[in-house]
Amino acid sequence: MKIVGIVGSNADLSYNRLLLEYIKKQFGSLFDLELIEIKDLPLFNQSKDQTDSEAIQSINQKIIAADGVIIATPEHNHSVPAGLKSALEWLSFKIHPLEGKPVMIVGASYYDQGSSRAQIHLRQILNAPGVNAVVMPGNEFLLGEVKKAFDENHNLKDKTTIAFLATCLEKFTKFVKMVAALEETEKPAPQPEDLHATGTVSTTVEGIDMLADDWLEQAAEAVGAVEGNTYVKLDRGLLTVDQLNYFFASMPMELTYADANNQFLYYNHTKPMEEMLAGRQPEQVGNPLAACHPEKALKGVEWVIQELRSGATDAVRVNVPTHGPDKFVVHNYQAIHDSEGNYAGINEYILDFKPIIDWYLAQTGMKLEGDVNAVSSASVKDKGEEVHAVSGASAKG
C-alpha cells in the first residue's frame, strides 16, 4: 500500500515532520510512506496561476498515485498553518488530487491539546467541495507536549502512545481498502487505448506511412532531424547525436520508447533480433504498437498503458523466466512524463539481472534461497497471464 505523508509545516524544525518520519520508520510493515514537503510551494495566488509549476505538479502526481494520504498538522492560532492552507488551495484550484482520496489526520503541538483545534479545521477544509477528500472519522491522534515526546533518536517514548498510534494506523489501512472498494464501484472504465496510433500528439510526424520499412529515414528527412556530429542540448548536458547513440548503446539493457500516441519510436539497436531478450527489427520503428505485437497480446499491452497513463502506477514489472535458469530477465515498463507531469509515453527496459546478482552474492558471501522462477511482479498479479504476453512485444504475428 502506497501512502504519502504531507508535512503540514514549512518550518525547518517541525515535530510534525518528526512524527511522520517516525511513522515511516516504525510502521513500514503496514505501508510504504513517502513524505511530501510544502515548504517550496509558492503562496496561493489566484491571479498568478502556478498550478502547472513543477513543485505543485510533483505533489499532485504523488497524491494521485497514492492509495491514501496522512496529513500532520501543527496548530497556529487555533487553526492550520498558513502554509498548509495555501498548499490545499493549490490542490483544489484547478487540480483535485485529494478528491475521493482516503485521508488520515495526525498532529503534534507544544502544548497538551495536540493540535486538536487545527485538526477540526483541517477536517472542514478537506470536506470542502473543491477538495472533497474522504477523511477517516474518529481515531484522532493528538500528540501534545511534543518536546518531551521523543527521545534522542527521534523515537516516541511512551508505550501507550505508540500502541494507540499503531491502532490508528492499522484502522487507516482498513479504511483505505474500504474507500478503494467503494470508489471502484463508481470508477469509470479506462478509455480504450488507440494501439493503431490513428491520432496524433504534438510530436507526431504526419504524412508518412507508419508501417513503411523506411519510416525512420522518411520521418527524419521530413522534420530535418539532426544526426552525426551535430550537437543536442539536453537537461543537463551537451552531446552530439553520435555520442547519444554511443551512450544508449552502452546501457546494459534493451531500451524501447513508445510515445503517448502509442507509436514505437526508438530502441537501442545493438544486436540482431535473434540475439535480443525481446526481439526488435529496425523496420519496426515508426509502427503503431498494434503492429508490433501479436493479436493475442494486445489486451495485455492496453492494460499496461492504461495503468501508466492513468497514474495508477509508475511502473509495471514482469519477470520472464522463459529464458532459462541462467538468466533472470525482467521487463520494466516505466511511465514517462513531461516537465508538467503529463503522460509522455513508455520507457521499456529489459534487463538480465543475473550478472548483477551473481556479482552482489560474490561480494557479500550471501546466497539465494528458494525457487527464483517463482518470483513474479506483485503489480501484475491480476493480469499476469495477459501481461506476460507483452513480453513478446516486438514479435509480429
Q: What is the pLDDT of residues 151-172, one digit of tens each?
A: 999 999 999 999 999 999 999 9
Whether residue 376 contacts residue 369, with contact meaning beta carbons closer than 8 Å, is answered with: no
- On whether both 12 and 70 belong to a single domain, the answer is yes
- On whether both 156 and 39 belong to a single domain, the answer is yes
The low-confidence residues of the chain, meaning pLDDT below 70, are: 185-188, 370-397
Q: Can you tell me whether residue 286 is helix, strand or coil?
A: coil
The pLDDT tens digits for 209-246 are: 999 999 999 999 999 999 999 999 999 999 999 999 99
Query: Is residue 168, in this structure, part of any structural domain at all?
Result: yes
Cell of 363: 561480494
Specify the pLDDT at position 320. Answer: 84
Q: Specify the CATH number for the domain of residue 113.
A: 3.40.50.360
Cell of 105: 489526520
Query: Is residue 271, in this structure, part of any structural domain at all?
Result: yes
Query: Is residue 98, in this structure, part of any structural domain at all?
Result: yes
Specify the pLDDT at position 321. Answer: 80
- Give the span between the Cα atoms of 89 and 91, in whole angstroms: 5
Specify the pLDDT at position 186. Answer: 62
- On whether both 154 and 41 belong to a single domain, the answer is yes
Q: Specify the CATH number for the domain of residue 284.
A: 3.30.450.20
Whether residue 60 contacts residue 31, with contact meaning beta carbons closer than 8 Å, is answered with: no
Q: State pTM to two decimals.
A: 0.54
- Give the span between the Cα atoms of 196 and 61, in whole angstroms: 28
Which domain range does residue 266 map to?
A: 214-357
- % helix, strand, coil for the chain, step of 5: 35, 20, 45
Specify the pLDDT at position 339. Answer: 82
Amino acid at site 75: E
Cell of 36: 511530501
- On whether both 119 and 245 belong to a single domain, the answer is no
- Give the span between the Cα atoms of 177 and 68, in whole angstroms: 9
Specify the pLDDT at position 295. Answer: 93
Specify the pLDDT at position 142. Answer: 85
Query: Is residue 262, in this structure, part of any structural domain at all?
Result: yes
Q: Are strands 254-259 and 264-267 parallel, antiparallel or unpaired?
A: antiparallel
Find the farthest-apart pair of alpha carbons in the chain and give their distance in angstroms, rounded: 73
Query: Is residue 374, in this structure, part of any structural domain at all?
Result: no
Whether residue 264 contacts residue 196, with contact meaning beta carbons closer than 8 Å, is answered with: no
- Give the span between the Cα atoms of 392 and 301, in whole angstroms: 10
- On whether both 147 and 16 belong to a single domain, the answer is yes
- On whether both 118 and 224 belong to a single domain, the answer is no
Specify the pLDDT at position 134. Answer: 93
Query: Is residue 280, in this structure, part of any structural domain at all?
Result: yes
Specify the pLDDT at position 392. Answer: 38
Specify the pLDDT at position 69. Answer: 95
Alpha-carbon torsion (106, 107, 113, 117), positive or negative = negative
Specify the pLDDT at position 185. Answer: 62
Amino acid at site 306: Q
Total tally of structural domains belonging to the chain: 2
Q: What is the chain's length?
A: 397
Residue 83 CA, chain-centre distance (Å), reads 25
Query: Is residue 148, in this structure, part of any structural domain at all?
Result: yes
Whether residue 297 contacts residue 316, with contact meaning beta carbons closer than 8 Å, is answered with: no
Specify the pLDDT at position 370. Answer: 64
Query: Is residue 209, in this structure, part of any structural domain at all?
Result: no
